[in-house]
Structure 1
Amino acid sequence: MAQAGVFLEHDQFNCSICLDVLKDPVTIPCGHSYCKACISGYWDQDEYISLYGCPQCRQTFSPRPVLGRNTMLADVVEKLKRTGLQTVPSDDSLAEPGDVECDVCTGRKNKAVRSCLVCLASYCESHVQPHYESPAFKRHNLVAPFGTIQEKLCSRHDKLLEVFCRTDQRCICSLCLTDEHKGHDAVLAAGEITEKKNEVGEIQRKSQQVIQERERELEQLKQSMTSLTLSSQAALVEGERIFTELSASIARRQSEVKELIRAQERAAMGQAEGCVRQLEQELNHLKKRDADLLRLLQTDDHVSFLQSCQSVSAQPEREYVPNVRGDPNFGCVIAAVSEFQALLEDVCQGGFFNISEKVNSVTVLEGPKPKAEPEQAPEPAAQAPFGLNVPAPNAFRVPVRFVGFASPTFGPRPSESRLRVQQRRRRR
């Protein structure tokens, strides 16, 4: 049958009562087959009515049929169990990528359900049955399926690694105890696993604590980043408003200074123009008197000369005229504006230095705190089972760097600005 490559439906060899492969199959008069124990138990429930039926077709029989073993069906089922010619596997039983495959199946392999530590093989649901039914496999140790059986073998003796050497902290086989690990502290791996699981459990507990701590720190960091972003936006808006007002204030002071200069120019020009008119009038009067004197000097009439001489001999009274400055200019105003500029730069420089220090103090992460005691030696790595070195919980900590803005490079210090102003004054 195996050579013929015949595939049979799985349900053909299942008992419809226990839904398992037929065991000691019997066929009742209607033609349906069951496990002998299953159909006998089913009919025992109806013993009081002396009417016995088929669970599938519901045909009834009376008296109770005698159950005879279906030898042909029993032989087929037995051969199927022995040869591994199984029914066409369902999609659920076929091995998928990542599943442990049955080592007995040929062609498309089934998914293994158990692995034998004695046979060093994995079996599907059908091929593992001999381990349950045959006394020869009674002492075999079946475990959950795993696909790395070769890794469980000793590389030197090709035997199962079933001993744990505490001296070397590694798994070995029984033959290793006679040579390389002779005299070492060794126990069965099954006996060591409890203690090692406790150690791994403690490491895992500490790892969970570190994870929870890091999750809290991460949440705090995200909240701080959100708060920093909102605060930064508010500071930008408020800073822009203040500097806009400051610029407007300086612009107003500029307009006021311009108006002061123009007003002073108008006032000084008004005074000067009044003096010009006064001097022009006086000059006209003096020129007219000078012409009269010239005509008097040219007359030949002695009587007229003498009569007129008395009236022109008195000097006219001169009106007050302010002194005129030789070089009137607004140079002093320019100097005052320059001094104001230097003072303003001095104030701005000091203010900017203070603002920069405040800006640099705003960070999300704090710098490392100074240690009060000398630094101790780091904790030794915890010795994990099977030689696995697991770092101590503090080893998971990420070093925190101080995060801030780069220190700004400033221009002259306030004292240098004042020195510049004094030097300009001395040059004037």
Structure 2
Amino acid sequence: MSAAGSSEEQFLCSICLEVFSEPVSTPCGHNFCKRCISQAWDSSRICSCPLCEEVFSIRPQLKTNTLLSEMVSQLKLEKSSRSMDELIHLKEVQCDVCSEPKLKAVKSCLVCLSSFCESHLQPHLSAPRLKRHQLMEPVDDLEDRMCPTHDRPLMIYCSTDQKTICVVCSVREHKNHTIVSLEEALEQTVAENQRLVEQRRLKVQEITAALELSEREAQRETQQMVKVFSDIMESVQRCLDHHTKVMEQSLSKHKERAQALIQQLQQEMCELEKSSTEAQQLSLSTDPLHFLQRCPALPLLA
């Protein structure tokens, strides 16, 4: 699988939204442009991952993601090879064998560390010894594709140390490590990135579902509390109405008794006033016997 064959979004820095430049990996496994993540941490009081927001107590030492760098380089090469209009604006790789004027190279050899035009490439297509050489689209950075230790092409990938190595490296410094081809490493990285994207998509769905469940549960509990308080308020209102009715009935009875007593007392007052008037008239008589015989007896208060 080629880099261009996969989604180009996987090669975009989530900070600048451009294709990775000097991609580095954080301890949590996310990748950013070295300059982008450095500037982000320089301007922040804490060091955290812009994607998963994991906080690092100590600012991590950023390590270059060599595989991702290779993938980005391959992506850029494949994108360039697909568009002739873009190729016009690029610097053409010249044949290293041609004398001036040099012709345009059509292939580069990772063994010879040279680029060849169509004419000078013929020996690599016909000679048995040269046909074993690894050819690729013409590039002008062949030295960067060579192992600085063994001066061999960087043709394989060490998954253990996450770096591109040569064949000699695989049997010396990286002996007993997990070694895969660059193509396989590329496929594994793309698949891993897709797995991480899918993992986060499922996590988002899980959080969203949990949030919706919490909202429904909160709404249900709120409705229950509203009903409980409504029942309490109705019960209190019933008690208040009953108490008010009882008090009104009791007050009505007291009022009736009081009015009856007042009416009785008023009647007695009238009789007493009448008796008092008669007594005053009789008191004018000089005969006490006559007064006492005629004066009515005063009623006693109940």
Report the TM-score when normalising by structure 1.
Answer: 0.35
Structure label with greater radius of gyration = 1
Report the TM-score when normalising by structure 2.
Answer: 0.46
Higher relative contact order (Cα pairs below 8 Å, separated by 6+ residues):
2
